[in-house]
Amino acid sequence: MAERKLLVLFGSQTGTAQDTAERIGREAKRRRFQCRVEALDSYGVANLINELLVVFVCSTTGQGDPPDNMKMFWRFLFRKNLPPSSLCQLDYAVLGLGDSSYPKFNFVAKKLHKRVLQLGGTPLLPVALGDDQHDLGPDAVVDPWLLALWDKILALYPLPPGLEIISPDVCLPPKYTLHFLPEDTLLPDGGLLQPTAPRVLPSELHPFAARVVSNQRVTAESHFQDVRLIEFDITGSGITFSAGDVVMIQPQNSPEDVQQFCQLLRLDPDRRFMLKPTEPGTSLPALLPQPCTIQHLVTHYLDISCVPRRSFFELLSYFSKNELEREKLQEFSSAQGQEELYSYCNRPRRTTLEALWDFPHTTCAIPPEYLLDLIPRIRPRAFSIASSLLTHPDRIQILMAVVRYKTRLSKPRCGLCSTWLASLNPEQGDIRVPLWVKKGGLKFPTNPDTPVIMIGPGTGVAPFRAAVQERVAQGRRGNFLFFGCRQKSKDFYCQAEWEELVAKGFLTLFTAFSRDQEEKVYVQHCIQENRQLLWELLSCRSAHIYLAG
């Protein structure tokens, strides 16, 4: 009888595709399959020719681009020299997650489905096109598609004799077990961040602990929005970048949230543990030290401030001894309860920590080893770099709006990363932030005579500050910037710097201050007014146009 092995590969940018892939993994285990769930770029793509059964789950980002964790796989798969029969023994299915308000809706999933077919794969089902715009979100497509998928798969790989599908009433084992160490175990020193010179170029797995040099508010105190210009010291990191590149920052939870979480779950923050995978072949979470404290796990790893997904409530329902709470949790995890869940979680942006408060009897019964299945890891945040190494050697600057807004919940919603960064005060000692750099989507012209037209309202001006600094340092003129904000006196970022460059003849600046007069004026009005100039730059001088928001 054929070996019952299923591989689920995902490409995920924000975690939704990963969450769905893990759901398929759980459903496979209930159907007694040996199942691996992996990010596409963590998987040795050359092994694909040996696989018999694969489900691909992938999202589409930007203008029809693959997510970061499947870019290498994507390049390999579209190599011209792959023989058309490479995947002839593969049965496969592709599940796409997208947003139909974008022109390239689910482009990556459609293209992947077609390419695997070209290489000889046999599709089990047509490609599924999950849509964020649907009232019930992607699940409206995913739920029925998965039912059909399991019918197809079980027809090819029936259950072994004498075995049944594991009932949905039974909780599956956790991915890892936690082995608590005796209180007096001596451990080597050293946390997540080693401020030593790195042996490798900083990356997500090896971030550089950059010192915060300055953290300055650049909006007037009376302005409704707090925007910061933050500078990091990257001396000795080996990091290089050019205008248009992006700095990735790994944030952490606030001490108050960590303390509340530990109290709610009755966890001792100082307890140390080792993680062991439940099944051989499962790799340990890359960013957790071994051994680790509960404090470190909750501060640096568990995303307790994210809006919980359906899978969170499903797993939580297994731990509930309280009938009322269990019924509500089961409703939230059912297909019928998705509208209810949306108004409870997504609309008011309720956090995981707040949801745990609402289910106190269940929360205090959560077994610690399930924490890593229950709560996703904190994802890094991307910021456009707002400075050039030619102007500020060994430094990275970012221009960041602190995210804070109201919903129907009494407590304002606060962005995890921006709130944390805004709270860091370099005058209080050696403050470090884990970061690394990746290539951005904006590429500036190499020809020194090509003019650049940059449209950057609000903090969208950040990558253009880097570009202008870089180009001025190279002696390039032909820099045209359209900047817009509310009021000249309150949120005109980097005003003195722009005015100095205008005076020196390096920059032509157009500004729109929307609230400084009766009629609102935006950057598009300035563009309209200067259409002659723009057309001349484009038609006669082959100018490049850049837009960031």
H/E element holding 481?
strand 479-485
What domains appear along the chain, each with residue ranges and CATH number? 5-156 (3.40.50.360), 258-374 (1.20.990.10), 452-547 (3.40.50.80)
Question: What residue ranges in 122-226 does DSSP mark as E strands?
Answer: 122-123, 128-131, 176-180, 208-217
The pLDDT value given to residue 194:
44
Residue 187 has pLDDT above 80, yes or no: no
Q: What does the pLDDT average to over 46-52?
A: 94
Q: Is the confidence at residue 2, as pLDDT, over 90?
A: no
Long-range contacts of 140-147 (CB under 8 A, 24+ apart): 142/20, 142/95, 143/335, 145/95, 146/24, 146/27
Contact 17, 67 (CB under 8 A): yes
pLDDT above 70: residue 197: no
Q: Encoding tokens for residue 83?
A: 């023989």
Q: Is a pLDDT exceeding 90 seen at residue 298? A: yes
Dihedral, CA atoms, 178, 182, 188, 193, nearest 10 degrees? 40
Q: Residue 63: which pLDDT band, with cuts at 50, 70 and 90?
A: confident
Per-residue model confidence (pLDDT) at position 437? 98
243 has pLDDT over 70: yes
For residue 283, the model assigns a pLDDT of 87
How much of the chain exceeds pLDDT 70, in percent?
97
Q: What is the mean pLDDT of residues 398-420?
A: 97
Range with lowest mean pLDDT among 42-46, 309-313, 348-352, 421-425 = 42-46
Torsion of CA 343, 97, 303, 252, to 10 degrees: -120
- Per-residue pLDDT, 1: 56
pLDDT at 3: 84
Mean pLDDT of the chain: 94
Q: What is the pLDDT of residue 137?
A: 82
Q: How many whole angstroms separate alpha carbon 173 and alpha carbon 481?
A: 57
What's the pLDDT at 186? Answer: 63
In this prediction, residues 239-266 reach a mean pLDDT of 98
Q: What does DSSP assign to residue 125?
A: S
Kindly provide the residue ranges of all beta strands, DSSP E only, lying in 60-187, ordered along the sequence. Answer: 91-98, 122-123, 128-131, 176-180
Sign of CA dihedral 532, 535, 539, 544: positive
pLDDT at 190 over 70: no
**pLDDT on residue 335:** 85
pLDDT digits (tens, 9 = 90+) for 69-90: 999 999 999 999 999 999 999 9
* Average pLDDT over every residue of 372-396: 97
pLDDT interval class at 441 (50, 70, 90): confident
Res 196: pLDDT: 47
What's the Cα-to-Cα distance from 330 to each of 313, 325, 407, rounded to whole Å? 7, 9, 25
Between CA 401 and CA 229 the distance in angstroms is: 9
pLDDT of residue 460: 97
Q: What is the pLDDT of residue 280?
A: 84
Q: What percentage of the chain reaches a pLDDT higher than 90?
A: 90
Could you tell me the pTM of the whole model?
A: 0.91
Of 27-31, 189-193, 469-473, 513-517, the poorest mean pLDDT is in 189-193
pLDDT at 192 over 50: no
